[in-house]
Amino acid sequence: MVRYRVRGGNALRGTAFIQGAKNAVLPMIGAALLAPKGRTVLRNVPIIEDVRRAVELAEAVGAYVELHESERTLVIDASRVDSPVLPARIARRFRGSVLFTPALLHRLGEAIVEGVGGCNLGSRNLDFHYLGYKRLGAIVDEEETVIHVKASGLTGATLYLDTPSHTGTENLIMAAALANGTTVIENAALEPEVLDVIDMLTKMGARISGGGTGFITVEGVDELHAVEHTVMPDRLDAGVFAMAAAITGGELSLVGTGLDLGVVRYKLEQMGVEFARQGAVLHVRSEGKLRPINIITDTYPGFATDLQSPMMTVAALADGTSYIHERIFDGRFALAGELNKMKANVEVDGSRAVVRGRTPLTGTQVTAHDLRSGIALVLAGLAAEGETVIDSGYLIDRGHAHLAARMRALGADITREISER
Ligand SMILES: CC(=O)N[C@H]1[C@@H](OP(=O)(O)OP(=O)(O)OC[C@H]2O[C@@H](n3ccc(=O)[nH]c3=O)[C@H](O)[C@@H]2O)O[C@H](CO)[C@@H](O)[C@@H]1O
Ligand SMILES: C=C(OP(=O)(O)O)C(=O)O
């Protein structure tokens, strides 16, 4: 059992090193399994629990994987992939497991998905993935919890996503990359992580055009080869550090090449946080006095749902009433009850929340219901009076690497503890 203990009151100052993106590296590990020869090298890999699970899953299907933690490098040899089963004991622990399906389909002609995990955020359907595979010629058997996808070769088709699903787009691109003929994916996701995955697949020999336009065309090729690729910076990790500076009246230099916070930066600027780009470094500074804000989550380039939770903490510390409308997930507000235990004033009505600030937050024992509510509670702890203890730290470790050490280096009083329970 991992828990985080935070004592609030310290302003965060110094240089924050932003990790590689969780939501880019997971599909890249899935993509590496598409290469039947040679070894793939991934650089700037975040050392997070989801990556450890992805390594276990790649090994479970037969690949040989080395995770060099201090070098933040993964070496993946997928010349042997011999099991179509994504076993429940690993696959149910993270969402990224769904991204292994295309490689198993291409390499073995079938994938048996014993479950898919990830944050508990309400309904998280996979129908676009499976309908897409069917349109490409696969047979999909959906039993109770096990999904069996079979195909003796896929054929290009026109696919349409009802909403631009992030992993759905990545999976269908990977399925189409080795299909026979041309695939068009309409209403494809625009997230920068999806574009980074397209970059890697293109280096591997895939023929993909239209990334970032919503209409992606994939010309199938016969084989993909192993490459070296550097994972893009994690804009969610960066957003959290910017928010940590914002709520503690701190000043941080965010290091992570080419980092663009987009709408998150503009919203924080509206709240009174100052940003300055200094070449490759993004400088963030705050006096600690924040104005309220309105947030509507959306797919990229809208406000990322994954940063909605930490932003709720920031709103609780702003002077005045903020309004949040969550449009992507129907179960993303479990955080409100936990923040209220810390004396915040958050009222939830369906997909909308009203956050009345600023109430001085008080440390207490709180529960992370998912990765982002966990990190939002860490932020609350940094600004609260007294001590905040957050269980389960595993959820935070799913997406943030060496969080306590990185925050302590900036002056935070935070420890990561492991107990028997
Ligand atoms: C590993 C990874 O990259 N995870 C990210 C990815 O999750 P994920 O790829 O699971 O998110 P999606 O974009 O697929 O889901 C968004 C919404 O679309 C719905 N939907 C999705 C697919 C489908 O087949 N049918 C369907 O109805 C979902 O129920 C959800 O309400 O994007 C989310 C939205 O930006 C992020 O919060 C996650 O951090
Ligand atoms: C929802 C998230 O992750 P996953 O899709 O991996 O559950 C997240 O990163 O906030």
Q: Do strands 274-278 and 281-285 pair parallel, antiparallel, or not at all (unpaired)?
A: antiparallel
Between 168 and 260, whose confidence is greater?
Answer: 168
**Mean pLDDT across 59-63:** 98
Q: Could you tell me the distance, in angstroms and rounded to a whole number, from the CA of residue 119 to the centre of ligand 2? A: 5
Q: Which ligand is closest in space to the CA of residue 50? A: 2
Q: Which ligand is closest in space to the CA of residue 309? A: 2
Closest-CA residue to 91 (of 78, 79, 104, 80): 104
Cα–Cα dist 293/241, whole Å = 18
Cα–Cα dist 97/27, whole Å = 9
Evaluate: CB of 330 within 6 angstroms of ligand 1: no
pLDDT at 144: 75
Asked if the model's pLDDT at residue 25 lies above 80, the reply is: yes
Cα–Cα dist 73/43, whole Å = 5
The helix or strand, by DSSP H or E, that contains position 90, with its residue range, turns out to be helix 88-91
Q: Do domains 2-19+233-418 and 22-230 have the same CATH topology?
A: yes
Q: Which ligand is closest in space to the CA of residue 369? A: 2
Q: Could you tell me the distance, in angstroms and rounded to a whole number, from the CA of residue 363 to the centre of ligand 1? A: 32
Closest approach atom of ligand 2 to CA 167? 5
pLDDT at 421: 63
Mean pLDDT of all residues belonging to the chain: 96
Q: pLDDT of 306-355, one tens digit each?
A: 999 999 999 999 999 999 999 999 889 999 999 999 999 999 999 999 99
Closest-CA residue to 105 (of 141, 151, 72): 151
Query: One of 119, 138, 284, 314 is an active-site residue; which one?
Result: 119
pLDDT at 320: 98
Evaluate: CB of 398 within 6 angstroms of ligand 1: no
Closest approach atom of ligand 1 to CA 95? 1
306 belongs to an annotated ligand binding site = yes
With a Cβ cut-off of 6 Å, ligand 2 is lined by 94-95, 118-119, 121, 306, 371-372, 399
pLDDT at 63: 98
Phi, psi for residue 254 in degrees, rounded to 5: -95, 120
pLDDT band at 260 (very low <50, low <70, confident <90, very high): confident
pLDDT band at 420 (very low <50, low <70, confident <90, very high): confident
pLDDT band at 120 (very low <50, low <70, confident <90, very high): confident
What share of the chain has pLDDT > 90, as a percent? Answer: 91
Phi, psi for residue 104 in degrees, rounded to 5: -65, -40
Asked if the model's pLDDT at residue 41 lies above 70, the reply is: yes
Closest approach atom of ligand 1 to CA 94? 1
pLDDT at 117: 81
Q: pLDDT of 139-167, one tens digit each?
A: 999 877 889 999 989 999 999 999 999 99
pLDDT at 143: 77
The DSSP symbol for 302 reads S
Q: Is 218 exposed, middle or buried (0-12, 13-18, 19+ CB in 10 A)?
A: buried
Q: pLDDT of 44-58, one tens digit each?
A: 999 999 999 999 999
Asked if the model's pLDDT at residue 419 lies above 90, the reply is: no
Q: Which CATH class is domain 22-230?
A: alpha beta
pLDDT at 121: 80
Q: Could you tell me the distance, in angstroms and rounded to a whole number, from the CA of residue 293 to the centre of ligand 2? A: 24
Domain boundaries, the chain: 2-19+233-418, 22-230
Q: What is the DSSP string of 377-421?
A: HHHHHHHSBSEEEEE-HHHHHTT-TTHHHHHHTTT-EEEEEE---
CA-closest residue to ligand 1 atom 26: 125
Cα–Cα dist 129/105, whole Å = 13
Active site residue 354: no
What share of the chain has pLDDT > 70, as a percent? Answer: 100
Asked if the model's pLDDT at residue 257 lies above 70, the reply is: no
pLDDT band at 30 (very low <50, low <70, confident <90, very high): very high
Do residues 315 and 324 make contact, with C-beta atoms less than 8 angstroms apart? yes
ipTM: 0.98
**Mean pLDDT across 58-86:** 98
Q: How many residues does the chain have?
A: 421
pLDDT band at 126 (very low <50, low <70, confident <90, very high): confident
Contacts of 127 (CB under 8 A, 6+ apart): none
Evaluate: CB of 125 within 6 angstroms of ligand 1: yes
Q: Could you tell me the distance, in angstroms and rounded to a whole number, from the CA of residue 412 to the centre of ligand 2? A: 25
Q: Hey, which CATH number is domain 2-19+233-418, 3.20.20.80, 3.20.20.70, 2.60.40.1120, 3.65.10.10? A: 3.65.10.10
Phi, psi for residue 237 in degrees, rounded to 5: -60, -45
Evaluate: CB of 95 within 6 angstroms of ligand 1: yes
pLDDT band at 122 (very low <50, low <70, confident <90, very high): confident
